[in-house]
Structure 1
Amino acid sequence: MVDFQTEDQDGMCNILQVRWTISPRTAPQPWIACSGCGCLKPFRSSGKIRLNANGKRLDAWLVYKCVDCDKTWNRALFERKVVHDISPYTLEALQHSDPHWVRAREFDLDGLKRKVRRVDEISDVFIRKRITREARDWTILEIEIVAELSTSLRLDRLLSSGLAISRSRLQALSKGGQLKAEPDRNNFLRHRLQDGMRIALDLSEISDRQAIGRAAAD
């Protein structure tokens, strides 16, 4: 973990630890030549799987729709795959357009980029916050990031929203050595958040420490 002093002079723990689970609200949107609009348009997932059986082989597509005219684009997930090579769980998910299974495909950014040149990533997310450890007179705030799916959201925007403080103030805390991250990298605040990141803020000399702590946990 980042190297702030985590005990006070009496040897008591001085940490407030929280876990933020990050869930993107909107899936990436590929840009497709839309026959209805006559130009390139962003398409959104319909959440529906289309299947076609050909003997013992199966084709599967995820259906997308133009955001303006609802023309469809079928994104191939696989083609001519032997049914016996598909796990029962996957086959069940395909047949019922299982929302959880489909959602994982919607956020397969690498797979999308193999199909189209342009993909818009939407950075709006939902944050579930939970306290995992709390000292009575804490001065160090530690945040564990759990990112369920890929997102383009930058760390400074996430922290600004989740802690209700400005990005300029975050930059000042970082420059002053009061905000650190693991893994560390240059200008880490300007990079995308990553699953497993840990953020630590030394708020021992910050007057609104309690307000920041409440925002981090609520």
Structure 2
Amino acid sequence: MPVGSTGASTGIDRKALWAVTELGLPAIVKACTSCRSTRHHPTGKFRVNAGGKLLDVWLLVSCESCGRTSKITVHERTHVRALDHDRLLRFEGNDAAAVRELVVSGAFRLDWAGTWALATDMPFYDLAADPGPLEVVVRFELPVPVRVERLLMAGFRLSRGAVRGLVGSGRVRLPVAVDAKVRADFTFVVAATSPPAAP
């Protein structure tokens, strides 16, 4: 079950979809041997070297600063029978999906800056003016670790203090802590405010 999934409908009629959209793959953090940069981007290519029955597979990356190409080990001295044939063909064919899969797999230290944006299917939602309940489904196109309060700040266009105030008051009800980092789909609820008391 996705992070924060409630497993059941909230019964709220009004729903909104927020999507963490992909702007690009994260940079791989790796010291460059030619300059002081530590940000590298995949070139989209693999290098496969066969020595008898043993294989070496590298992902080729390029330094963001100086452009120097270097290798990151994917498989080292691996017996040819131990590597899935279709996977090997993907490496040999420089399959773009294989590059993406490998980069976001968590095998490397990554810098996610500038890789995502938040898109919503609703116009600006004024929490102060709209007292009705709302269910918001957050979907991730890219498994980028994002702090929940950052998503709320972007989605509602509010300051950090305002977001924390709404969560603290119970108006915004989250399945995880507001300062938690999430990277998978979840749902939260904007609760209805009580109508003003009759004079």
Structures share fold, TM-score greater than 0.5: yes
Query: Separation in 2 of the partners of 1:90 and 1:149?
Result: 22
8 Å CA contact 2:48, 2:55 repeated in 1: yes
**CA apart distance, 1:68:** 1.3
Q: 1:123 to 1:70 in 2, by over 3 A?
A: closer
**CA apart distance, 1:205:** 5.8
1:189 partner SS: coil
**CA apart distance, 1:30:** 3.5
Query: Separation in 1 of the partners of 2:39 and 2:18?
Result: 30
8 Å CA contact 1:15, 1:139 repeated in 2: no
Residue matched to 2:126? none
1:103 and 2:92 are equivalent in the alignment: no
Q: 1:82 to 1:192 in 2, by over 3 A?
A: same
1:199 partner SS: strand
Residue matched to 1:112? 108
**CA apart distance, 1:14:** 3.9
Question: Could you tell me the TM-score, scaled by structure 1's length?
Answer: 0.68
Q: In structure 2, what residue type is equivalent to 1:33?
A: A
More helix by share: 1
8 Å CA contact 1:31, 1:43 repeated in 2: yes
1:190 and 2:171 are equivalent in the alignment: no
Q: 1:73 to 1:66 in 2, by over 3 A?
A: same
**CA apart distance, 1:85:** 2.8
Residues 79-129 of structure 1: CA deviation (Å, up to 9, x unaligned): 1222333324312321222222211211233x214xxxxx43325414465
Residue matched to 2:153? 160
Question: Could you tell me the TM-score, scaled by structure 2's length?
Answer: 0.74
Q: Structure 1 stretches of 5 or more lacking a match?
A: 7-12, 114-118, 132-137, 207-218
Q: 1:30 to 1:194 in 2, by over 3 A?
A: closer
1:89 partner SS: helix
Q: 1:148 to 1:87 in 2, by over 3 A?
A: farther
**CA apart distance, 1:181:** 1.4
Residue matched to 1:10? none
Once the two structures are overlaid, the 10-residue window that deviates more, 68-77 or 149-158, is 149-158
Query: Separation in 2 of the partners of 1:71 and 1:192?
Result: 33
RMSD value over aligned CA atoms? 3.0
Runs of 4+ in 1 over 3 A off after TM superposition: 18-21, 30-33, 126-131, 163-167, 203-206
